Structure 1
Amino acid sequence: MIKKVIIITGVSSGIGKAFIHKALGNTKEGEFVVGLGRTNIPDFTHERYLFIRTDLKYSSSVKQAVQRIKKRLGRVDVLINNAGFGYRSTVEDLSIDEMREQFEVNLFGPLYLTSLVLPLMRKQGHGHIINISSVGSVVSTPTLGYYTATKASLDKLSEVLDQEAEKFNIKVSVLIPGAVKTDFGKNIRIPKGYSKTTYTSLYKEWQHRFAYFFKRQDTSEGVANYLWSLIQKPARVRYISRRDQVMCALKRVLPHSIFQFIFLNYFYKNES
């Protein structure tokens, strides 16, 4: 008998991979973990783990994945929207097709997946959706504008959905980590228009600032452990990593000019 099903996207590395190992080390008989993504964890199998190849850019791929889950497991108790990527680009340099791709993977795909599992959760009478965001959704930075825009949109829609789904006993949470040791930086994409950019000095400046910020990284395992704990206890809407709570609080209460001074000289210092 299937008692609990947890879905997480983006499982080949980073937080997703670490969560799979954490979850399978703690699940009980009748509990399954489903990983969705374009690639699986290399050379990994487990009797309570199901991987379904899924590309969030394509609604047909997402729909087929949910149909397989429904047919084989019959339920979804927890959905973790973790997959995502970033373009390192100014607002001007990204092409319209690259803009669409950024939003398809980071926003539209997760929202469509969510819309497909909500009927299952309503039928069960409970569910928990956790969207993995970024501290960039609260504090924006040059050259990551489109990435942070997708995460900020996901934050707001999560807050709305939490209110809409409350009467069905479905909780929606947003986890906002800061710098995490993953392959995000290695896999970050450069726009086609980069070779003709007029923002060369800005790119270089923020490359140094990001390097400073990423000196204080959380581990993927640490975030995965925290994510697992969120599933076990009553959920609130927003969770911000402890080391970034001060920065986010200052953003809310300080005038923009004062915050920017602190932001550029403490959190994102340029040591070039």
Structure 2
Amino acid sequence: MENDFDIYVINLDKDTNRLEKINNNLDNYIRIPGIYGQQEDFIKNNDIFYLSRYVCPKSTIGCCMSHRLATKTFLETSTKEYALILEDDAEPCFENYMEKINESIQNAPSDWDIIKLDYLPKYNIFDKTTYTKIPSLLLTAYIINKKSAEKILKNKIIYYPDIQINFMGLNIYNNPEIIFEQTWDEENHSNNRIQSVYNIFGYESWNFKAIRIFEKEYTFGDLFLFILILIFILLLKINNGFFINSNKIEKIELQ
């Protein structure tokens, strides 16, 4: 049985070990050469929002460009109506995952633009039969159609694709079942993560790059610490102002 979709796998040239794992799980896919942001100059790229060219982490822009390339390739070259786009650290949760994907498309609400096959938070913990439309993170594995591909390409790149895509006016549904899962281990280290010494709670998600300032990249953990320090300084100023005003009032009363 021929599928109604083509499969696109985003893979950086340097990540040959990931491609080997993909080859063990998938047949008949189209490899999309990932864009390694650290080696690219995005300053003159008009597909990227102007401010993001300077403050968005380079690896994040590279990730966005890679997903954009997969979408563009599908729109310009495929005769199929749908596309399954995978990151190269996606692993199927079922042996009959192709059958599951076809069922996802057939049973999805008629107005769908994107069907996410992996997402966070895991909204399907208690209900594995309902398509949810609650905003979620991750673009490990998702299905798009020609209409949504056109919509995506009309938007400039601003930030992480799994965050920005929630603000494009698309009908995004989380599939009732998680069909693919992202591999989280030392062998599959994300280019969007760096170890932060300020990640005081040890949350892995806090090691994701958040912003670039003068070519120095900072994580969400770094930003959290900065905000805490800022709040502490503001509280000190407010507290000092309170005592100064109290002393003035006491002096006036004594006079």
- Select the structure that is richer in helix: 1
Q: TM-score, normalised by structure 2?
A: 0.32
Q: TM-score, normalised by structure 1?
A: 0.31
